[in-house]
Amino acid sequence: MTKDHFIKNEPLAPHTTFRLGGKAKYFFTTNNKEELVACVKLAKKEKMSCNVMGGGSNTIFPDKGFNGLVVKYHGGKLSAKNLDGTKIKVDVCLPLWELVNFSVKNSLSGLEYLSGIPGNVGGAVVGNAGAYNHFIGDLVESVEIFDGQKIRQLANKDCRFGYRDSIFKKKNWVILSVVLNLIKGDKKTLTKISRDLIKNRNEKYDYNIFCAGSFFKNIPLKKVPKALLKKIDPTKIAGGKLSVGYLLEEVGAKSLKIGGISVASFHGNFLVNDGTGKTADLKKLANKLKTLVKNKFGIELEEEVRFI
């Protein structure tokens, strides 16, 4: 592997669902973990910054681009050799929907509630992606990583999964593969859950809009001032968290727009690019929303999306 293998000056926006960001000095796509490790080693040797991405559905690059190497670890298929009883071992370049479909088809339960979440398995592990109080981290048995020196295995407890959080948000490690522990389920029931959830998502929003899903994290109840909690409609609380969309709607978020970025009409916590937006606009709008919520409710919002 040399720098000649990389694409030069690749626009990053088309590789992200928000369609934001400038160009990468160097860019490489692979679904081969040896190649991924070789890229990371080369970047280190050349003293270049290196960012590993998956499906780009939670990543926002700066307008000025990325002055280093972006590796898109993406693609692949599953087969019977990925299965060992109720365990599935996958390279994390795999799109999450392929994994969910595979598990459902093989009558394995655990992943069906993640139906319709965009991106790859790696991005899902980093952000402990989930829906309806089901999180991928709960299914992880072990994760294979390259820590910059060597390849090693982490057990679930070492991944420190939390709400939209894991150790991978703090460390500069590359995730190569993961072993998930599922349980036997009924294929018909799993298929119905999966289809219903996708239908439900399609009714809520159009998948072709440029966004990264929920922008801010919901608020754990221990962070909500007690006086405020008493006044809040209980339907705005789920899974021990207060809906940030509710707080944003209460501060008038839905009428706000900066440049090509606006708050979606259907959800206060979806920020949307009309195709002309810039990362700078998004940051300004996000800061404005944070200030409005802080001033009205005394709550600090935290981004779920990842600014590079």
Footprint of ligand FAD (CB under 6 A): 17, 51-59, 73, 92, 117-120, 122-124, 126-127, 129-131, 168, 174-175, 211-213, 306
- Judged by beta carbon, residue 150 or residue 231, the one nearer ligand FAD is 150
Q: Amino acid identity of 70?
A: V
Smallest separation, CB 213 to ligand FAD (Å): 2
Tell me the two tokens of residue 306.
């990842």
109, 142, 164, 262: the active-site residue:
164
* Residue number, 106 or 269, with CB nearest to ligand FAD: 269
Which residue's Cβ lies closest to ligand FAD? 123
> Rounded distance, CA 181 to CA 178, Å?
10
The span from the CA of 284 to the CA of 137, in Å, is 32
* Least separation in angstroms between CB 109 and ligand FAD: 18
Sequence-ordered list of residues with C-beta below 8 angstroms from that of 280, at least 6 positions apart, any chain: 63, 259
Report the residue number, 244 or 292, with the smaller CB distance to ligand FAD: 244
Q: Is 304 tagged catalytic?
A: yes
Residue 218 is encoded by which pair of tokens? Answer: 């919901």
Catalytic residue list contains 300:
no
Which position among 103, 214, 243, 262 bears the catalytic label? 214
Please report how close the Cβ of residue 212 comes to ligand FAD at its closest, in angstroms: 5
Provide the 3-class DSSP secondary structure of residue 88: strand
The runs of H, that is alpha helices, within the chain are 33-45, 96-105, 121-126, 187-204, 226-231, 244-250, 279-297
For ligand FAD, the closer CB: 50 or 292: 50
Phi-psi region of 268 (alpha: psi -120 to 50; beta: other; left: phi over 0): alpha
Report, in Å, the least distance between residue 284 CB and ligand FAD.
21
What positions carry a catalytic annotation? 164, 214, 304
